[in-house]
Amino acid sequence: MKILVLNGVNLALTGRRERGVYGSETLEEINKAVAAYAKARGAETAFFQSDLEGELVRAIHGAQGMYDGIIFNAGAFTHYSYALRDAIAAVEVPVVEVHMSNVHAREEFRRNSVLTPVCRGEVLGFGKNSYILALESFLL
């Protein structure tokens, strides 16, 4: 099982931005924990982060035939990127949407995701464990 973990806009600052919301672990530390968990469960992981919508679109296109699933935290793109929504719909690789925070308990604009309808499912509100739980959903 090969899983691509994709992180979008602003997520490179995880651990340094809004620590009360996203915690103090860096994205690198979170990725390491996810990779270790995956390895222990017999899965392989690859990681990519970009602040650029087009790079994320390309990463999703490139996952076709290469990965069994994508774990995707698109950051704020979640709430308005029809380009990412269409990219997810364009590939056969299943995508699980992830958010570290409980987006429903925050500002109104975070309650809507344009990605959820084309994702296999969604995990949110569990901090870094949102990624682990999303990974586990592919392994069940």
Q: Does 10 bind ligand DQA (CB under 6 A)?
A: yes
- Smaller CB separation from ligand DQA, 10 or 50: 10
Of 77-116, binders to ligand DQA (CB under 6 A) are 78, 99-101, 103, 110
Whether 82 sits among the annotated catalytic residues: the reply is no
Q: CA torsion, points 118, 119, 120, 126, in degrees to nearest 10?
A: -150
Which of the following is catalytic: 22, 67, 79, 80? Answer: 22
CA angle 135, 87, 30 (to 5 degrees): 30
Q: Which window, 40-48, 52-60, 75-83, 86-94, contacts ligand DQA (CB under 6 A)?
A: 75-83
- Smaller CB separation from ligand DQA, 44 or 54: 54
CA distance 116 to 47: 21
β-pair partners for 4: 46, 70
Q: Identify residue 82 by its one-letter amino acid code.
A: Y
Whether 22 sits among the annotated catalytic residues: the reply is yes
Q: Which residues in this chain contact ligand DQA in the complex, by CB under 6 A?
A: 10, 73, 75-76, 78, 99-101, 103, 110
